[in-house]
Structures are given as structure tokens and as C-alpha cells.
């Protein structure tokens, strides 16, 4: 099961997705809200924290989560503060009960990853793309619009057109033809 623990939070935070199952994981930890208590409402323990990228709004709660659950943190760049283990493009990670392919998708930030499970028809898109054709900012440090466009195009080559769920770093998850939203994001980002 996938739950957005940041849903309804009124602070500067990313979404934080608790994925329960064989390997209970938190995809991004958010910022400026008690994510530890939110996790404990659903489970007693975490097996892993997996980061889409290390912008502050996605990792602000990281120290609290690590202290509370004595959990290891996985991300694209282990040189980043708080990241214990690196995830390379093409690696596979288990989130809940499914295997997810890690896709390195820079453009919003150099260490950005998306996670896609063909078996579950689920994509964790981080801040690469959002609902209704929106896409991640490229005006921050390490941002680059052309690289973002290339990353979205690459993601379209990886994910299936029958994608059922897309969980984004901000805003609502998409469960109605999310592949189309990724296509719209790519088209919008090109112009």
C-alpha cells in the first residue's frame, strides 16, 4: 500500500510516500512536519528510506527519521549528506512488495531519480513531472531545461502506456491516464 504522509500538511514540504509490504520504505521524508509520528500511525518500523533527490523540502526530516527508526538511506549520490548507499541508473530497489527500476533523471537536480515498477504499474516521479503536464523547476542550482527534457523523454521510453499510478514530489498523485500527463510534461518542457 502507498500512502502520502504529507497529504494535507500546510508547510513547505514535498510529498512523503510510505510504501508498506515486504520492505517497508519511505520515498522522500518531507520537511517541516512530524513525519515520524505519521509513519508510526501505520507501522512500527521502516526498512529503508529512498530519496528521489536531495532538495531540502524532500530531505528536511531525514535526521529525525534516521534517529527514530535507525534506518539506512538510499539515493543517487552517496556524497550527499545523509545518503548511506548509492543507487545507480538501472539498479532495482524493493519498495513494499514490488521491484522498482531506478531511472536517473537529472535536469531538476543532478541526483534526481524516478522509480518505476512494471509489475505494479506505479511510478514515483519525484520533481521531474507532475499532474496535468507540469514539470520540475530548472532555475535552481544543478537545474538544466534541456537535460530535463531529455530525462522526461527517457522516462517515456521506460514506462508503459498502461501506467496506473504516478506519485509526484508535490501535488496530487495521478491515477487517470498518468502516461498522458508525462507526455504533456515533455511537450510543455520543450517549449
Cα distances from 159 to residues 48, 152, 180, in angstroms, run 24, 11, 11
Phi, psi of 145 (to 5 degrees): -65, -45
C-alpha closest to that of 24 among 125, 93, 102: 93
The whole-number pLDDT of residue 138 equals: 97
Backbone φ/ψ region at 142: left (φ over 0), alpha (ψ -120 to 50), beta:
left
Whole domain around residue 146: which residue ranges?
Answer: 2-190
C-alpha cell belonging to residue 30: 518531507
CB within 8 A of 176, min separation 6: which ones?
none
Cα distances from 29 to residues 142, 152, 165, in angstroms, run 21, 23, 20
Length, in residues, of the chain: 191
Cα–Cα distance measured from residue 33 to residue 21, given in angstroms and rounded to the nearest whole number: 24
Contact (Cβ atoms closer than 8 angstroms) between residue 124 and residue 155: no
Cα–Cα distance measured from residue 97 to residue 86, given in angstroms and rounded to the nearest whole number: 21
Report, as ranges of residue numbers, the positions in the chain whose pLDDT lies below 50. none
Q: What is the CATH number of the domain that holds 101?
A: 3.60.15.10
pLDDT digits (tens, 9 = 90+) for 23-38: 999 999 999 999 999 9
pLDDT digits (tens, 9 = 90+) for 181-191: 999 999 999 98
CB within 8 A of 117, min separation 6: which ones?
95, 98, 99, 100, 101, 123
As for how many domains the chain has, the answer is 1
Amino acid at each position: 500500500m502507498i500512502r502520502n504522509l504529507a497529504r494535507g500538511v500546510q508547510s513547505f514540504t514535498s510529498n512523503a510516500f510510505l510504501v508498506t509490504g515486504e520492505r517497508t520504505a519511505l520515498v522522500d521524508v518531507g520537511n517541516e512536519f512530524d513525519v515520524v509520528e505519521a509513519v508510526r500511525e501505520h507501522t512500527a518500523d521502516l526498512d529503508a528510506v529512498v530519496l528521489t533527490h536531495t532538495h531540502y523540502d524532500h530531505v528536511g526530516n531525514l535526521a529525525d527519521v534516521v534517529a527514530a527508526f535507525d534506518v539506512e538511506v538510499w539515493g543517487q549520490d552517496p556524497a550527499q549528506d545523509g545518503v548511506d548507499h548509492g543507487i545507480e541508473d538501472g539498479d532495482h530497489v524493493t519498495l513494499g512488495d514490488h521491484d522498482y527500476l531506478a531511472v536517473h533523471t537529472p535536469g531538476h537536480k543532478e541526483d534526481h531519480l524516478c522509480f518505476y515498477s512494471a509489475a505494479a504499474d506505479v511510478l514515483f516521479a519525484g520533481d521531474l513531472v507532475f499532474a496535468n503536464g507540469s514539470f520540475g523547476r530548472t532555475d535552481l542550482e544543478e537545474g538544466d531545461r534541456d537535460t530535463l527534457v531529455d530525462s522526461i523523454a527517457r522516462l517515456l521510453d521506460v514506462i508503459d502506456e498502461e501506467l496506473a499510478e504516478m506519485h509526484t514530489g508535490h501535488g496530487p498523485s495521478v491515477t487517470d491516464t498518468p502516461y498522458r500527463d508525462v507526455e504533456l510534461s515533455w511537450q510543455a518542457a520543450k517549449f
